[in-house]
Amino acid sequence: MTFINPADMAGRVLIGLLALALPFGSIAQDRTGFMLGAGIMRYNGDVGKLKNRFVSPAKVLRLYGKAGITYRLTGHLEGSLNYMHGSVEDADSLSDNDDQVIRNQSFQSSIDELSLQLDMYLFHLLDGRKVNPFFTAGAGMLWFNPQAYLGGNWFDLQPLGTEGQNLADPIYADPYKLREYTFLLGAGVSFQLAPSWRLRFESAYHMTTTDYLDDVSTIYPDLTQLAQQPFGPLAVQLSNRRLETSAPEAGRSRGNPDSNDSFLHFGLSVIFNPSGWIKGNGRSRSGYPNRGRGRMGKSQRCPAFDS
């Protein structure tokens, strides 16, 4: 069985970000920033479905790390290229739904996302506001790899075809891909700590184009046929984990294919602008735009800082 190592892929993506950063930052230093962040992730999909029962956050929340390059497009808009690495996990045993507890599925999956985002700030970025709320939207590529725990080991689920994906029968779905698209919407608050430093609290909902973050989506396959496939006995064990003595009939619902999986992230990021807000061109020594008074006493600002 071929195992995917998300750490190797994460390293390559991070090196690519750093390679992009060098020429990108030299082009427009006063508009460019570098971001590092961390926080927690929460999965939403077919497994778990907790609604009315309290579960320790340690059982359903997982950590992520984030790196990115930001670029100020206008006074209120900032674009960014971001890489996020983390994981999600859940189990039917944590659900408050009796049918799901009996189904007894569980999983963990790595999450690697490379995205382009657009942040819209409420106040002008160069106005020197200490607190600046923002909204964010974006799209990107997602790499994931669902696994299940059995007998002291974690096993990759996609190659096993636990819902009959590898069986020659049109009633079963095709093998799913481990690379899909994401679309995110979120909001947050930015705090200007110094001319070169910002701290951001942020949260975003990531919608995916897959229903297989958890390897659960459609129906149970014919377990007799599945047992004849490569890694058949293992595939059968991880396909049917029901707390029942009888095996589920082929075609019985195993998940809900009508809605894709998603995840939420909540955390903080630090953004560093190497040159601060560069002095001169109307900026004050504090790093913010100089303001003058016109003949009528109205505040005036250099037009260059309205963009």
In a shared domain, residues 88 and 14: yes
Closest CA to 182 of 253, 260, 104: 260
Residues 196, 185: Cα–Cα separation, whole Å: 26
Same domain, 118 and 244: yes
Inside any domain, residue 1: no
Closest CA to 45 of 211, 181, 178, 185: 211
Is it the case that residue 229 has pLDDT exceeding 60? Answer: yes
The rounded percent of the chain whose pLDDT value lies above 90 is 69
Question: How many other CB atoms are there within 10 angstroms of residue 79's CB atom?
Answer: 16
Q: What is the pLDDT of residues 182-223, one digit of tens each?
A: 999 999 999 999 989 999 999 999 999 999 999 999 999 999
Let me know if residue 33 belongs to a domain: yes
302, 246: one domain: no
The number of domains in the chain is 2
Is it the case that residue 291 has pLDDT exceeding 80? Answer: no
Looking at the predicted structure, is the pLDDT value of residue 290 above 70?
Answer: no
Whether 253 and 290 share a structural domain? no
Average pLDDT over the chain, rounded to an integer: 85
Q: Is there a single domain that holds both residue 129 and residue 235?
A: yes
253 pLDDT more than 70: yes
Whole-number Å distance between alpha carbons of 142 and 144: 6
173 and 209 in a single domain? The answer is yes
pLDDT for the residue numbered 60: 85
pLDDT band at 12, cuts 50/70/90? low
- Cα 108 vs. chain centroid, distance in angstroms? 14
Asked whether the predicted pLDDT for residue 280 surpasses 50, the reply is no
Q: Domain check: are 156 and 295 in the same one?
A: no
Same domain, 295 and 225: no
Which CATH number do you get for residue 127? 2.40.160.20
The answer to whether residue 293 scores a pLDDT higher than 90 is: no
Q: How confident is the model at residue 287 (pLDDT cuts 50, 70, 90)?
A: very low
Mean pLDDT of 228-239: 95
- Residues 114, 228, single domain; the answer is yes
Concatenated DSSP letters for the chain? Answer: -PPP-HHHHHHHHHHHHHHHHHHHHHH-TTTEEEEEEEEEEEEESSS----SS---HHHHEEEEEEEEEEEE-SSSEEEEEEEEEEEEEEEGGG-S-HHHHHH--EEEEEEEEEEEEEEEESS-TTS--SEEEEEEEEEEEEEEEEEEEETTEEEESGGGTTTSTTSS-TTSPPPPPSEEEEEEEEEEEEEEEETTEEEEEEEEEEEES-S-TTS--SB---HHHHTTSTTHHHHHHHH---SSSSPPPTT-B-S-TTS--EEEEEEEEEEE-TT-S-SBTTB-TTSSB--EE-TTS-EE--GGGG-
User: Based on the domain organization, do 62 and 150 belong to the same domain?
Assistant: yes
- What is the pLDDT at residue 278? 34
Note the pTM of the prediction, 2 decimals. 0.82
Task: Output the pLDDT for position 298.
Answer: 46
User: Has residue 183 been placed in a domain?
Assistant: yes
What residue numbers bound the domain in which 249 lies?
Answer: 6-275
Q: How far apart are CA 191 and CA 230, in angstroms?
A: 55
The rounded distance, in Å, linking the Cα atoms of 60 and 101 is 16
Average confidence (pLDDT) over 73-85: 95
Of 93-107, 186-200, 290-304, least confident by mean pLDDT is: 290-304
Q: What is the dihedral sign for C-alpha 218, 222, 224, 229?
A: negative
Q: Is residue 291 part of a domain?
A: yes
Task: Name the percent of the chain lying above pLDDT 70.
Answer: 78
Give domain status of residue 43, yes or no.
yes
